[in-house]
Structure 1
């Protein structure tokens, strides 16, 4: 049902829970306009894309000659990375496959990863994050009151992946990130996962133990060392092929026996809980809205079916109670302590020290270089 309290886009399902959203005279939101004017120009779900992808793969294979691997692939067990793995296998790409275990894998995720690896005949490298450090960082973030509680997981995933790529002399990072399901996301809801300055500031204020083995990526490493010194590049193959989520899921089911999680990011118990309870309850952010809106503008679903999906509860009551119990037990806190953490005043991540100042300087420098030379220097 469309709420009377919010203005909702007449084309997608984004609404004024995004405080920066604007609408034209026809009620079409700024997200839809940006997709049409900017994002769609970078999306090639057609023959043009397949030719571009063929060229990319050819170059990757050429560089991989006489090497054990052509590229590196982070495999979470989610649909995006799993489908990408299947397509890489079918294209004859030889990835170094890495899974980062931060302690929140669902049993289904473990099973799906195993099925993918067995089907492709690949070897899986699993990096296990120190749980005591991970737990301390999770609790620090909960105490901080910021919206993106997934930063501790996301940051160490990328940090571990990049570090492992350099160690194994691999420079192409294959990403399951895609325009088809992720092209719309409110900037007001964002908090970059790669801001190690912010992560360390939050942990210093609220953490209780040193992060001795937890890997981080500095601003210099992320924006200069990896892309320019080590010549690493992030490739998103799903943007160069027709990627229809439902069809991809059915293909995974039929070919490898993949089991559906029933919701986006269901492979991680933490992400599932954080996106479907913590954020909607504390901040009013329902991540189904940008996800469904992305699928509307890319022609995968209708607006009416998206509205029907949004009318369903985010959680079954029994499932929610079970997940809260598991969440508390995993983090070593009581239900009362969890309830108190849910009452922590909401804060913007910029309330803590961050890389925003130096990031803005870098962006201005990039714009200046682009204006003078006509060359894009960003690799991200």
Structure 2
């Protein structure tokens, strides 16, 4: 379903549920990261783009402090009181409740009621959780008269995910959902939070390839990777691996054990690849972007070791298509999605043939999306 279709779905469902149209419609997009993986928590560089798949909330303010949200996707309604925030131990509502907790520490909030739905695939590495957080942030800001500051809201959403939901994510997902720009990727410096919109090369398209696999119970693996980057920085005497270049790392390789060295080699190299890819995008050099994207996948597979058989298979099939400039896994890894930069004129053929080949080779049903770069979180007043 396209964005307009989802908007109309939540508006219609709201009217049916409450007997009147909503006062506002909030929207926040998912994202795909073109390059710059596992660099954000080392203060490094990432190059995501917001995609034309989003979470939508039709809502109106309440006169009390209660928040009530009906999720069309989960077929249930969640409610809580802003004056008595307590975790329910998990589920989609915790992202909304977490935003209330993070915002309420600094701002006066008002209750609201709404209907939510989205088409960001869940658990696929496209940041459905950040989209829900930022859509909820837009809703709270609208009913509470809070001025919207994308960077501040992204930081508060990250705080919600870290401190309330309990996921030690970096800032990338929330920042791109809050501050994305149509037609552009966004180069984010995860230390300073400075951003720079970077146009996609003319005649190209970004294709997301969902392998049909999910990460599962791999929190310990993720935490091990993150800890290894911290150990490497400590041993090299720097605040974070952001502060090391490839030449320095190789000259001091003997100071690290083999596993820690591989983890550090990925992060340090990925930062350099990300900056180079942003420069290549700005000069319209799709071939160079593709080369760097391919190198990123090899590094994630071999040095950071967060890929898996299905991700490698779909990436190799994508790279073999003549319209593909480059492809790699995207997201934290261990399952989920890959991303490819392809010739726009052949994007539909690419999607069909890669999907068919993957289905035949792996026996799983992929979902392949040709995506457009979308704007960040928005609010619309319904008149």
Pick the TM interval, shorter chain.
Answer: under 0.3
More helix per residue: 1
Question: Could you say which structure has the higher strand fraction?
Answer: 2
